[in-house]
Amino acid sequence: MTDDVVFICITPVKNEAWILPYFLEVNSYWADKFIVVDQLSTDRSREILNNHPKVMLVENKKTEYDELYRSKLLWDLVRKVDAKKRIVMALDADELIPPQVIDSNEWNSLKKLDPGSRIYMKWIHVLPDCDKYYDIGELKPFGYVDDGNEINGKKIHNDRVPSNNNVNPFLCNEIVNVHLGYVPIIRNYKKHSWYMIWEFLNSENSAFDLNKNYRKFIGWNGNSIKVIDKKWIPKGEWPEKLDIESEDLTWWDIDIINWINEFGESKFKKLDIWDFNWNLIGQKVNSKRNIKDPRSLVDRLILYYIKKTKYKKNNLIKIVNSIIKTYWK
């Protein structure tokens, strides 16, 4: 029997056992099905997912990082779900839609949207104290009423849902996407270090731009930091532990050590990744290299300047930024 409306959560996973039980528990309040593409996880992720009755788990055997490829896998699976209307929410494993909003008129109105509708939500970046969040000041497309439209993009930093300019977007006031990825500080530092190096090696951005785009805790505008609304917190409380131990070895760590061994520390001396002892991580993966911070005094001063000015705008800063981008290569 074909269902009238099915809510589907699509999620890419790689070694997310630290948060998956909570992710599945909370998002099960609204999701009829989870479609998960796992990319060669080596922790308990697959075990956790296989034991959940709502999860359809598929393996992504591609070893290289490619967001578009995994998105196509996810959306191909969405089209195999038998339903008259498929409403898809594209979440990462460290994100949730609060159960408290599921009974709202706004949530019920999603069922009436036309196929091809993009669903825009506020992106709640929870800060480490779990009492405040960073407001990016815009809504992002995390939902889609499926119409079979193809998803497009690049290997990194794409919209998670297809684009359909012929259908009006739905802008949410109550429904939000709560992002917990910034809560575990050390884990986030490693993750963003990986992104910075990957983009640098793949010529996505200059070192200057990467340092401005990442390390968002540093220099955040106080006006953008706001108090968490209690209705966004499932059951009125966060789980006892959202963090992981600092000594845990992540897949990002292994990739970073391999890149340092391949290219040398100096290749990455202009990236803000050195407030961390990568040599200790190297020892854990049996690297024989004695990894040291390669930054010169000039590099340190420029990185300090970027931290202090990344959210400030005036003509002098624009001039200085232009000079740095021209000569700091």
Provide CATH code, domain 3-179: 3.90.550
3-state SS, residue 48: helix
For residue 325, how far is the Cα from the chain centroid? 27
The residue with greater pLDDT, 31 or 212, is 31
* pLDDT value for 16: 94
pTM: 0.93
**Rounded mean pLDDT of 61-65?**
91
Q: Which tokens is 233 given?
A: 């917190």
Buried b (16+ CB within 10 A) or exposed e, 157-189: eebbbbbbeebebbebeebbbbbbbbbbeebbb
| Residue 58, pLDDT above cutoff 90 | yes
φ and ψ at residue 95, rounded to 5 degrees: -130, 155
Please report the pLDDT score of residue 166 as a whole number: 84
DSSP 225-277: EEEPPGGGSGGGS--S-----TT---HHHHHHHHHHHHH-GGGGTTSS--SS-
In the numeric block, which tokens belong to residue 180? 């917990």
Domain ranges of the chain: 3-179, 185-216+249-327
Percentage of the chain lying above the pLDDT 70 cut: 95
| C-alpha separations of 218 from 161, 162, 205, 211 in Å | 30, 33, 20, 11
Where residue 165 falls among pLDDT bands split at 50, 70, 90? confident
Residue 163 identity: S
Q: Please report the pLDDT score of residue 245 as a whole number.
A: 60
The structure tokens listed for 236 are 């009125």
Hunting for tokens 């669903």 — which residue is that?
Answer: 119
Is the pLDDT at 247 greater than 70? The verdict is: no
How large is the average pLDDT for residues 30-57?
96
- Whole-number pLDDT of residue 244: 63
